[in-house]
Structure 1
Amino acid sequence: MTTTTYLLCIFVGSLSVFIMCGNLLLISSIIYFKQLRTPTNFLILSLAVADLLVGVFVLPFSTMLSVSSCWYLQDVLCKVRSSFDIFLCTASIFNLCFISVDRYYAVCQPLRYRAKINVCVIMIMILLSWTVPALNGIVITILGVNQEQSNRTCVLFQHIRFAMIGIGLGFYLPAIVMSTIYLKILIVARRQVSSIQNTTHQSTKSGAAVSKMERKATKTLAVVMGVFLICWTPFFLCMTFNPLTNYTIPVPVIAAFKWLGWSNSMLNPLVYAFFYSRFRSAFRMIISGKIFQVADAAVFAADGIKK
């Protein structure tokens, strides 16, 4: 094994560990603490499961493809990796999209939120987040993916028609929906803050507090969309324009952008959990082992979850 191979294994191993630890922490928090079992958090739980499986299955298979010298196994590994890759990454993106829908009703239609977004609706969202990507992955892998080995690479999306369908359904459609929804959320949130300031004639101190809340909401939305777009846009743009340019984009460049996209599964727990004090309290209790102490768990239920 060369030095590059060792470095690749170390990098992939570290990324897989971070992905698994972060998402296991998030999953454990929602499962263990009853106060966190809300409809919105069920969507976050579904997202964490998808991201966890990316770290468990997709990254190890990709590493095996990169370092394997068993050519008779690479075709099988390529097919397996492609199926899991398309399925799980699309499931993660779909969960992000449905979380944005949930946030839209919570911010823009708060009075109708409980009626519109109930457990049944959340379960339907979760079901769609898994079934549509599963069908997408199966169809693309079987009908549209050329798994022939060329220069020791696993070549995907050789057929432009299937490539455009898969990329459009798996990235562009969710990205457009998320961008539109979060822009609407930002506009409504600012309008609500302005309305509160005008109708209540708040003091300078109260106005500063509201302004701080507005900046925090704006920052959170910017991070949510920014992380998603930064991680996935370069790869999908390459996959879109590569066939149109007669495949002139170097394979290492596409591979690097793909790794950047997979890193989104590591960042999602930070974006959707560490921004909220109730999750931070749960994480601290799990990491410190205080969940095994009944008294501390009671304190969390009484105080930490209400922060």
Structure 2
Amino acid sequence: MALVVIEASPERIVLRCCNDSLLDGCPEPERFFYESPIGIAFAVPIWEAIATAIILSLIIILTIVGNILVILSVFTYKPLRIVQNFFIVSLAVADLTVALLVLPFNVAYSILGRWEFGIHVCKMWLTCDVMCCTASILNLCAIALDRYWAITDPINYAQKRTLKRVLFMIAGVWMLSMLISSPPLAGWNDWPDVFESSTPCQLTSQQGYVIYSSLGSFYIPLLIMTIVYIEIFIATRKRLRERARASKLNAVKQNIQQNSVKDKHSPVDGESVSSEANEPDHKEKEKKSKKKKKKADTNYLHPVQVAEDSFTDVHEISSNNSPKSSEKRKKRDDWRENSKKETQVPVVAVVNNPSKRAVQVNQFIEEKQRISLSKERRAARTLGIIMGVFVVCWLPFFLMYVILPFCKDCCPSEKLINFITWLGYINSALNPIIYTIFNLDFRRAFKKLLHIKGAT
């Protein structure tokens, strides 16, 4: 590709290519290069170059910091140190490599309007672009599958979900990503033999490879995640209905128990009612028996704290009686409505009436189940949000990626192409933000790592 100078001035240089654009049927537009104070010609005015550099650099920094925090959180914060969170680490590593190896070159390419780093760096950059973005998408797919198996077959999958299995799945994700990204290096490309600074460094438009890579990188994972999320939604709704039916049965059982206890203690049954005339020994034994029963019920009715260790799982852990935890519980105005913070089941007052105690025990168990299911539903919702953000970010790019090689008259502007491309890259910055907003343990770990006051 040769460039011809058609206008030159101290402020800008206008260049026109002597051949058509790589997009067949689209004439190469005139290129304006603006002189800068540092002696390098930019493809955009100075103010636009500065604004672009600042905005895109902030996105890169946010992506790097966010994903490093995710990785450190899993390895340094004990509640997050569980095998399924290695999927999150793998996802963060993929997003981090996008920020380190792909995005800086794209910023320079967007501002300069030409590739100044040579053909070998160009090939490395394009290969890393495809591999890291594909790994990010496939890791989301693996996380969705892990969540699906954990919900639909919790007992068996809890035994199967070993460190070896998780690492094997992660290795499969990265090997598949390399398999998708490497064919252009082996010759399946339309890259020019002679590479100059004016030669565009862009993904191959070979139609066969475009179909192959887009299916493996996006469309098949999207189909899998969609099916899996629908199945998770159906399974969660089914469990909600089962819990609702069980709650009704428990209510009926409570009524029966209350009636039976009333009948048992009624004088009609001929049973004697305790009176002051009973022997002292009998009264003393009865008092001791009540004390033991009260103590046992109090232990049993210890408050339960439900914490979401990972957005892929829900776990219940016993709360402690430390002053800090007591103080936190007092500050809560309404523990039932506070679904985004750790949920606390209040201590049930133990009473001497057996019928009331039985009712309150059943209510305690039901409340515990309700909280567990609420956490499970929120975890599935978080996965849905991650998938939704992923679709919004990447679908425009992969539609453009597939359509352009087959549409000879489709001529999007370079600004539109850059915007759609960066929309996909932004997904790597959004994943850590989603963890921070929707996951209590990641919020705590981030605060601890950043030494923010109030971290627990």
Question: What corresponds to 2:182 in structure 1?
Answer: 138
Opposite residue 229 of structure 1, the aligned amino acid is V
Question: What corresponds to 1:293 in structure 2?
Answer: none
Question: What corresponds to 2:429 in structure 1?
Answer: 266
Q: Among 207, 211, 215, which residue is 1:168 paired with?
A: 215
Deviation at 1:269, TM superposition (A): 1.2
More helix by share: 1
Question: What corresponds to 1:110 in structure 2?
Answer: 154
Give the TM-score normalised by the residue count of structure 2: 0.59
Question: What corresponds to 2:334 in structure 1?
Answer: none
- Identical residues among aligned pairs (%): 32
Larger radius of gyration: 2
Superposed, which structure 2 residues align to 1:188-207 within 5 Å?
Answer: 188-201=235-248
How far apart in 2 are the matches of 1:37 and 1:210?
Answer: 20
Residue 245 of structure 1 pairs with residue 424 of structure 2? no
How far apart in 1 are the matches of 2:238 and 2:245?
Answer: 11
Question: What corresponds to 2:96 in structure 1?
Answer: 52
Paired residues in the alignment total 293
Q: Residue 74 of structure 2 contacts residue 81 of structure 2 at CA under 8 Å; is this kept in 1?
A: yes
How far apart in 2 are the matches of 1:47 and 1:8?
Answer: 27
Q: Residue 75 of structure 1 contacts residue 147 of structure 1 at CA under 8 Å; is this kept in 2?
A: no
How far apart in 2 are the matches of 1:72 and 1:17?
Answer: 23
How far apart in 1 are the matches of 2:173 and 2:370?
Answer: 40
RMSD: 2.8
How far apart in 2 are the matches of 1:190 and 1:39?
Answer: 27
Deviation at 1:10, TM superposition (A): 1.1
Question: What corresponds to 2:395 in structure 1?
Answer: 233
Question: What corresponds to 1:155 in structure 2?
Answer: 202
Residue 64 of structure 1 pairs with residue 108 of structure 2? yes
Opposite residue 239 of structure 1, the aligned amino acid is Y
Distance change in 2, residues 1:30/1:210 (3 Å): closer
Q: Among 122, 128, 131, which residue is 1:84 paired with?
A: 128
Question: What corresponds to 2:275 in structure 1?
Answer: none
Give the TM-score normalised by the residue count of structure 1: 0.85
Q: Residue 79 of structure 2 contacts residue 441 of structure 2 at CA under 8 Å; is this kept in 1?
A: no
More strand by share: 2
Any stretches of 5+ residues in structure 1 without a counterpart?
A: 291-295
Q: Residue 63 of structure 2 contacts residue 96 of structure 2 at CA under 8 Å; is this kept in 1?
A: yes
Any stretches of 5+ residues in structure 2 without a counterpart?
A: 1-35, 37-45, 252-362
With CA pairs under 8 Å and 6+ residues apart, which has the higher RCO, 1 or 2?
Answer: 1
Q: Residue 114 of structure 2 contacts residue 198 of structure 2 at CA under 8 Å; is this kept in 1?
A: no
Question: What corresponds to 2:257 in structure 1?
Answer: none
Opposite residue 223 of structure 1, the aligned amino acid is I
Deviation at 1:152, TM superposition (A): 6.2
